[in-house]
Structure 1
């Protein structure tokens, strides 16, 4: 059974959704048969590559709101994250273009480390407020979970996997995604957003039963 997941590394709901899916899998009787595949989806592909700016300031400019209004609006997501054991630092977080980070997720997929890399980058972005526009930071982070640092540096020095990142976002939209996180259970049952654990368990059960029905 395959579960496809689309996420963006700057998306605070995506880390929450990842944690809830993992909790659902702990309650799913057939978790040992599940293959998780992590896919790319950029929420703001037009943000300049190689640049970073405070998330609050970036959102305030985009929404024509004050940074205080943005802080109040993001309190809910921080509270939801805390319930999943995630201590978000959204006030310190930096907005970046995530194309290069996603390209490293694709590199990691070749050795089965895409989930580990996605987890490490989400943690770095949302909890640790690291600057993921910096190539040295990206290389160091993915190397922590077993990706070859020299291979990661080669990828960042070119445009490897860039087209795959774009194609994956297109695929998600064809399947009905309007944002992330977005989950597809065994190619049949879609779940949009960081839904409660019970919703994921139900979707996993239905997909498993339908495939073996």
Structure 2
């Protein structure tokens, strides 16, 4: 049996393009799952902090943050958010930047590693991004993170203990170091089988194509075309 294609995804739960990229990846993989010889794929999420200096409780809305962080005028930021909201809608996501609570994401990344250790990383990644972008939940606060962990079947007390002891902080830093070694300076970034890099929230069709190409390469049926 051919080993699964390994897809390593560097992302930040506070990155709007990362959620879009995640959903497009899922849609692309769903499309190839109907193939007669469907690729077997294993997806792992890795930590990348877009704004590690962000306070847990940021005073202001998303427009305030981006205007300050990027030095843009508020009307420019509003247009940018309107655009990404439209793209998210095409991916089946309903972004609510009016509800969004910008925060530091390192604890969310620690929780994702806790979830990985307990076989629930994919479920938690979805729950965190949905909570952040569509529900206006505050993902910098321990109680909120523990509640979301519980939503996907993780033990609440164990999740809280992992956060309080920073047990998985070293894993977060290791992911970030690996991203630096790969030369990743923006997310989402997808590494396929440790050899091929795909940058940005590509459309579902692109992910379907590369999955089929890598699967064919694994079976000696052709070469992969750069994405």
The TM-score normalised by the length of structure 2 is 0.88
C-alpha contact (below 8 Å) 1:25/1:31 kept by paired residues:
no
C-alpha contact (below 8 Å) 1:188/1:207 kept by paired residues:
no
Question: d(CA) in 1 for partners of 2:191 and 2:83?
Answer: 26
Aligned to 1:115: 122
| 1:5 aligns to 2:9 (yes or no) | yes
Question: d(CA) in 2 for partners of 1:204 and 1:170?
Answer: 26
Of 160-169 and 16-25, the range deviating more from structure 2: 160-169
Task: Note the alpha carbon deviations across 1:37-74, whole angstroms, 9 max, x for none.
Answer: 111111011223x3234222111112233333311121
| 1:195 aligns to 2:202 (yes or no) | yes
Question: Which structure 2 residues correspond to residues 32-47 of structure 1 after superposition, within 5 A?
Answer: 33-47=40-54
Q: Among residues 117, 142, 153, which one is paired with 2:149 in the alignment?
A: 142
> How far off is 1:26 after superposition?
1.1
| 1:97 aligns to 2:101 (yes or no) | no
Aligned to 1:24: 28
Aligned residues: 212
Question: d(CA) in 1 for partners of 2:89 and 2:155?
Answer: 32
Q: 1:44 to 1:94 in 2, by over 3 A?
A: same
Of 154-163 and 114-123, the range deviating more from structure 2: 154-163
> How far off is 1:143 after superposition?
0.6
Q: Among residues 33, 45, 58, which one is paired with 1:52 in the alignment?
A: 58
Question: d(CA) in 2 for partners of 1:51 and 1:44?
Answer: 13
Q: Secondary structure at 2:95's aligned position in 1? A: coil
C-alpha contact (below 8 Å) 2:39/2:215 kept by paired residues:
no
Question: d(CA) in 2 for partners of 1:155 and 1:106?
Answer: 10
The TM-score normalised by the length of structure 1 is 0.93
Q: Which has the larger radius of gyration?
A: 2
| 1:132 aligns to 2:139 (yes or no) | yes
Question: d(CA) in 2 for partners of 1:67 and 1:91?
Answer: 14
Question: d(CA) in 1 for partners of 2:165 and 2:54?
Answer: 19
Aligned to 1:69: 76
Q: Secondary structure at 1:184's aligned position in 2? A: strand
Task: Note the alpha carbon deviations across 1:107-134, whole angstroms, 9 max, x for none.
Answer: 0001221011010000011111111111
Aligned to 2:172: 165
Q: Secondary structure at 2:165's aligned position in 1? A: coil
